[in-house]
Structure 1
Amino acid sequence: MQWQWENATAGAVAGFTTVAALHPLDVVRTRFQVNDGRYTQLPYYKNTAHALFSIGRAEGLKGLYAGFYPAVLGSSLSWGLYFFFYSRAKHRYQKGTEEHLGPGLHLASAAEAGALVCLFTNPVWLVKTRLQIQTPGSGARQPYSGFLDALRTILRDEGWRAFYKGLGPSLLLVSHGAIQFTTYEEARKFVITLRNKQRKDDNIVGDKALTSVDYAALGALSKFFAALLTYPYQVIRARVQQRPNTDGLPKYRDSYHAFKETLRFEGIRGLYKGIGPNLLKNVPASSITFLVYESVLRFLN
């Protein structure tokens, strides 16, 4: 059996590169997402630039890179597993046929990969969220000293089930990856077909391979489209994953409660809090990810 290790390696390298370059924007996005002005009290930020400046001034580089270790671990693991499971699913659906996979099977492959990744990585993302919104003087609870301390404290105080808070929205966010990968695959096929048709019309022999700029543009386009459609799930997940109050009660009982309360007190805009830094981070991040992925994959092959 061919295990597609090249896909997993390329995905992991791409994920690490992305996180290392753009993590401060992820911190800003998470703080915007959870700051509802009611249950969570965080410093007031006017916009992304003000947030970056304020965090850097008040908390230093440590604040801008809060939750960096679980972010690197989670992203590298997620992208590695995602590309691995995705390529395996496509290989399975492709078996026995010479035809190219259509949008439906690309969607099914991406959804299957995303669901499996969620089960493996939800505890890591929960810890990342809590570390990112942990600010000096933000509460009476003893702050986590780091990733391992957070894991131990959560297991001791809340039990193993706490690691799967926000799993519902995470599974719904599988649609994000499915939409992104399907858009990427279909757009890539369209561009290749268009380029080759143009070369044929110009009587140029041979197929035209995509360039690094093409991969970067396709990655950005697919991420932008997927983000607009699925962003509210990210807001709900971040709010559900917050640390309980000092009395041990969660700020939101479950995902439905978080959705209802957000819509009730903040309206539709509340479901899109942090969309600015999210796009600033993830659109170029997706360009970097797919560019590195395709480059590493070509090198390994």
Structure 2
Amino acid sequence: MSGVDIDRRQWENAIAGAFAGFATVASLHPLDVVRTRFQVNNGHVTGLPSYKNTGHAIFTIARTEGLRGLYAGFYPAVLGSTMSWALYFFFYGRAKHRYSKGSDEKLSPGYHLIAAAEAGALVCLFTNPIWLIKTRLQLQTPLHHKKPYFGFSDALRTILKEEGWRALYKGIGPSLLLVSHGAIQFTAYEELRKVVARYKSNKGKADHTDEDKILNSIDYAVLGASSKFAAILLTYPYQVIRARVQQRPSSNGVPRYKDSWHVVKETIRFEGIRGFYRGITPNLLKNLPAASITFVVYENTLKLFSLTRRNKKNV
């Protein structure tokens, strides 16, 4: 495979990832708003309504805040997700190619894990400011007495003015730990993909190495949701810690939590282990179908690129 082909494949991975990220956010954002509000609600939070469950939260937000409330932080969510998936698939593709030394041989689970972790760390450094702004916009409600942010650009200017550029990287610690989420998800996806392809090939007497021809959109959807479920169960506490440390400081400029370790201590003290899993229901409701959508769009976009290349060669 030539250098030009490799570069093209990597950019195709990035574009496919961007499409997948946009499709995911656009369809499931309200559940992300609910998840974020549950995550930070430790029973002592002022400025957030009390929700009984996911359904009640969606109904309450729709009734009191309207569509704007359900789609709070939508722009940074779209920007962050599109950028994250594009960069993730790009860096992940480059890492896999580097570890395979340019051959078409399948990598071991260990190399998949390393490649996914490497990609996740790089994406985290690029996108943390976007996720911080998204979190803060999602936590703004009519109960807030502090001057609200009027969109993404106003939030960025206000944070830089009031807190300095370092504030944009609050939560970077748990964010880097969340690299394990993507690493677990992608490793599980790759390994389950091989198992399903081998099973279907044995059943249909087809070549299991040509996975693109064996697997279909239903397979990608199931694989995406299954791998996401495993990653969520193992890494969800990091998401709660990050959301809590990224909250906007009070009107006197004092943050609710000093750092991630402060979040851990306070959560254990007042809520126990259950506190680290607040909001997991809307998180699962959002992210399992989101992962299915992401991988269906991603894999089919890559198939479209591959088909286009073959058609050009045949012309």
Which residue of structure 2 lines up, in the alignment, with residue 128 of structure 1? 134
How many residues align structurally? 297
2:268 aligned with 1:253: no
2:82 aligned with 1:79: no
Going from structure 1 to structure 2, the CA distance change for 1:266 and 1:193 (only over 3 Å counts) comes to: same
CA distance in 1, matches of 2:301, 2:165: 37
Q: What CA deviation, in whole Å up to 9, does each residue of 1:17-76 have, x standing for no partner? A: 000000000000000001112244410100000000000000000000000000000000
TM-score using structure 1 length: 0.96
1:32-51 to structure 2, matched below 5 A, reads 32-51=38-57
Query: Could you tell which deviates more after superposition, 239-248 or 38-47?
Result: 38-47
Question: AA paired with 2:123?
Answer: V
Which residue of structure 1 lines up, in the alignment, with residue 311 of structure 2? none
Which residue of structure 2 lines up, in the alignment, with residue 7 of structure 1? 13
1:274-285 to structure 2, matched below 5 A, reads 274-285=279-290
Question: AA paired with 1:66?
Answer: A
**3-state DSSP of counterpart to 1:278:** helix
2:298 aligned with 1:286: no
Question: AA paired with 1:63?
Answer: G
Q: CA deviation at 1:99?
A: 3.5
CA distance in 2, matches of 1:82, 1:107: 13
Q: CA deviation at 1:129?
A: 0.2
Instruction: Structure 2: give runs of 5+ residues left out of the alignment.
Output: 307-315
Which residue of structure 2 lines up, in the alignment, with residue 244 of structure 1? 249
Q: Is the 8 A contact 2:23 2:294 kept in 1?
A: yes
CA distance in 2, matches of 1:291, 1:137: 40
Which residue of structure 2 lines up, in the alignment, with residue 266 of structure 1? 271
CA distance in 2, matches of 1:181, 1:155: 35
Q: Is the 8 A contact 1:34 1:40 kept in 2?
A: no
Q: Is the 8 A contact 1:39 1:251 kept in 2?
A: no
* Equivalent position to 2:125, from 112, 119, 126: 119
1:139-288 to structure 2, matched below 5 A, reads 140-200=145-205, 209-288=214-293
**3-state DSSP of counterpart to 1:271:** helix
Q: CA deviation at 1:164?
A: 0.2
Q: What CA deviation, in whole Å up to 9, does each residue of 1:72-122 have, x standing for no partner? A: 000000000000000000000111555320000000000000000000000
Q: Is the 8 A contact 2:221 2:292 kept in 1?
A: yes
**3-state DSSP of counterpart to 1:264:** helix
CA distance in 1, matches of 2:102, 2:191: 22
Q: Is the 8 A contact 1:184 1:218 kept in 2?
A: yes
Q: CA deviation at 1:9?
A: 0.2
CA distance in 2, matches of 1:150, 1:205: 53
* Equivalent position to 1:103, from 98, 105, 109: 109
CA distance in 2, matches of 1:38, 1:262: 11
CA distance in 2, matches of 1:84, 1:236: 28
CA distance in 2, matches of 1:87, 1:264: 42
- Cα RMSD between the aligned structures? 1.3
TM-score using structure 2 length: 0.92
CA distance in 2, matches of 1:257, 1:133: 20
Query: Could you tell which deviates more after superposition, 38-47 or 272-281?
Result: 38-47
**3-state DSSP of counterpart to 2:67:** helix
